[in-house]
Each structure stands twice: as structure tokens, then as C-alpha cells.
Amino acid sequence: MGKKPKQGRVLPRSIIESGRKPTAWKPRRGLVRLSHSRQKLFDRLMKLPGNTALRELNLLPNGNRLLVKMEHQNKPTGSHYDRVYPHLLWALERTGINPNRFVLCETSSGNATPAFGYFSRRLGYRTIAFLPAELSETRKNLTRQQCDQVVVADSKKHGWGVFGAANAMREALEKNKAERQTDPNTKALWSVNHSQVTESIHAIRGLAREIIRQLHGRQPDYFVGIVGNGTILYGVGKELKRRFPRIKIIGVETVERPVLHQAKHPGQYEIEYGKNPPTIGEMAGQEFFAPGTGALGVDFPHLFDAARICSKIVLVSRREMEEALKELSGKKFQVGHTSAMSYVAAQKIASRTKGKIIVGIFYDHINRY
């Protein structure tokens, strides 16, 4: 069996400063060969997600067409993360992680941890999820249903949003390390850390390939992707760009948390809004609006790569998002905040162009908020 792979850092300083590369899980001694029955279990789990529809929404002006991948209908837990975890866990086991010696942990803004818990549980792992203090109770409960233990960050001690959740996880990892020094029988806490590893980019390739197949030869002009941790924006954007080199990749963020916008268009926010964007410290006490986008204070290495392939970052205000939610719900699309933000971005693009094909994603259902 291969030795434990090298663990990536949990919380570096800031996305704009560090320029850090994602971690790749590497065994110290050769990849582990999984038993036939274990591999069959993984094969079964990998078949659960995917094959979501690519639907055309006749909602754009100027003869522009919007094609949306219905990732909120993914199985088993209802987001694009259903595609990510079977692959991540398979890759981890190949490097030597197994349920006998390891407990898995993960952070999330509400979609990753339900999928993480669902798949890990079926593979026999005990799981711990670390969540932002400000996440809605609905979102916390989705994770509670799938994970063995949920630790909600203490906003005063750990900080706001995803930053707080990552700090709470780091604290637990350090505590576990100390415990193992005194009791070598204690299981090691292993942070899957989906947002930091190259394997999540490999895992999401299937989504891009489905989109390409479902386009049936049509050439998309734009892909609008939420700037979360970069799994979708870079993972899907990169594959689409490889197949359609002229496509423009557009990142979408909230006006409140313009993380990649700051890196991509420095100084522009200050000119447009007449103020600096809020810092993580200034977010204290504020609601966690639009989970899954603009994680202040946490370094996401895929966003550096995303910045390279993105033509532009579009900012969406809370009012615009709320109006879009109402409009989409009126058309029977009961989707969540980031789906509505993607729709707003598509409308903004469509107002300035004619006869283009815009591809977007519906990430999750409104009942998850």
C-alpha cells in the first residue's frame, strides 16, 4: 500500500497575492490497486450523477440563445458536486487513503459537503464537514443529513464565511495531529479539500464533455460560469475553450465580493462603485449571500488558471439576482442564487450583442437556501 500523500495547505493568504498552484495527490510509493469489489463499488457510484439536460431558455433579446446545463437535477444530492466526489474519493484511495485508517473532512458553502458525505458514507468513511457560521439552516441541514459530524465555524474565533469554515477545519487538523502523537491508534483526519486539488478539475471534465456532445456541433460564443473556487469556471471553461478556441469565458461574481474581478480588472471596481470592495474583516456580521461565489480570504488556486482563460468578470448586484430569481421561478425554473446570477450575466451579454449562443449552468435548486 502506498504511503499517505502530501497534504496541501488549507488556508494561504489571498488569491491575488499568492499565485499558488493546486496540489496534486501523489502516493509516496506507487498507486494502490483497488480490489475488484471496491472498484465495482466506485464504478456504480460514478454512474449515479451526470446526463443532465442542456436546455434552451427562450429568454434573451437580440436573437441570442441561452443554453443551460441543468446541474441542479444531478443525482444523488442535486448539484455539480455529485460529479466530483466519486472521482475524488477514487483518486484518494489510489494514493493510499482508506476508511480503516482515515476520517475524511471537508469544507463547503453548502453544495460540496452533501455530495462529499453521501459518497464517503457509501464507501465506509466517517466524515466531518466544516461549515460557515453564516450559512442558512437549510443548507447546514442538507450537510447534516449526509455527514457524520458537522462543525459550524465560530464567526468570532474563525472568521466570516468560507474563510471561517476553512480556519475551523485547520484547527481540527492540528488537534488531530497532536492527538495522533500521543495515541498512534487515533485515525488520521484527512482533508479532501476539493477546491485545492487538480483532481477536482479532472473530475468535472465529464460535465464539459456532455455539454460539447449536447451542442450537436453548434459553436457556443460565450460560457458564463460562477467564480466560486474555480472548479466549474476553470474546469469546464478550459475544456470548452480547447474544443471551441473562439469561445469567451465570462466569470460571474456578486458586487459584494468581487474576488476575481479585483485580480482581473484592478482598479475598475473603485472607479465604478466609488469605494473599495469589502475586506473579510468588514464582512463580520453580514449575511452569507449567494453561497458558492466570491469566497473572501481563501486562496483558490484554480482561480489563477481561470483568470488566464476568462475574458471578463461580470458583477451582479443582489437586486439584479433577486429579480432574476423571481423571473426564472415564474418560468418554472426553481433554481438558486448563483443560477440566477448566471442568468443576469447572460442577459447583460445579450443586451450588447446579436445572434450569439451563450452557455450557462443552473447549479442548485432554490429549496437548498
Ligand X SMILES: Cc1ncc(COP(=O)(O)O)c(C=O)c1O
Catalog residues that contact ligand X under the rule CB under 6 A.
109-112, 226, 228-233, 291-292, 336, 338, 363-364
Smallest distance from ligand X to CB 80, Å: 6
In whole angstroms, what separates CA 302 from the centre of its chain? Answer: 10
Neighbours of 24 (CB within 10 A): 14
Cβ proximity to ligand X: between 45 and 112 the closer is: 112
Instruction: Read off the C-alpha cell for 263.
Output: 485580480
Signed CA dihedral, 340, 346, 347, 349: sign only: positive
Query: What minimum distance in Å lies between the beta carbon of 111 and ligand X?
Result: 4
Q: Is the dihedral of CA 184, 8, 253, 270 positive or negative?
A: positive
Smallest distance, Å, CB 95 to ligand X? 22
Q: Output 167 or 342, the one with its CB closest to ligand X.
A: 342
CB of 240 closer than 8 Å to CB of 233: no
Task: Specify the amino acid at residue 296.
Answer: L
The distance of closest approach from Cβ of residue 225 to ligand X in the complex, given in angstroms and rounded to an integer, is 7
Task: Confirm if 8 and 196 have CB atoms less than 8 A apart.
Answer: yes
**What is the smallest separation between the CB atom of 89 and ligand X, expressed in angstroms?**
16
Quick one: 111 or 167, whose CB is closer to ligand X? 111
Shortest reach from residue 35's CB to ligand X, in Å:
31
Residue whose CB is less far from ligand X, 123 or 290: 290
Q: Which is nearer to ligand X, 45 or 303 (CB)?
A: 303
**Within 10 A of 217 (CB to CB), how many other CB atoms are there?**
6
> Which one, of 228, 272, 273, 270, lies nearest residue 251 by Cα?
228
Phi, psi of 312 (to 5 degrees): -165, 155
Nearer to ligand X by Cβ, of 69 and 176: the residue is: 69
- Alpha-carbon distance of 343 to 109, in angstroms, equals 21
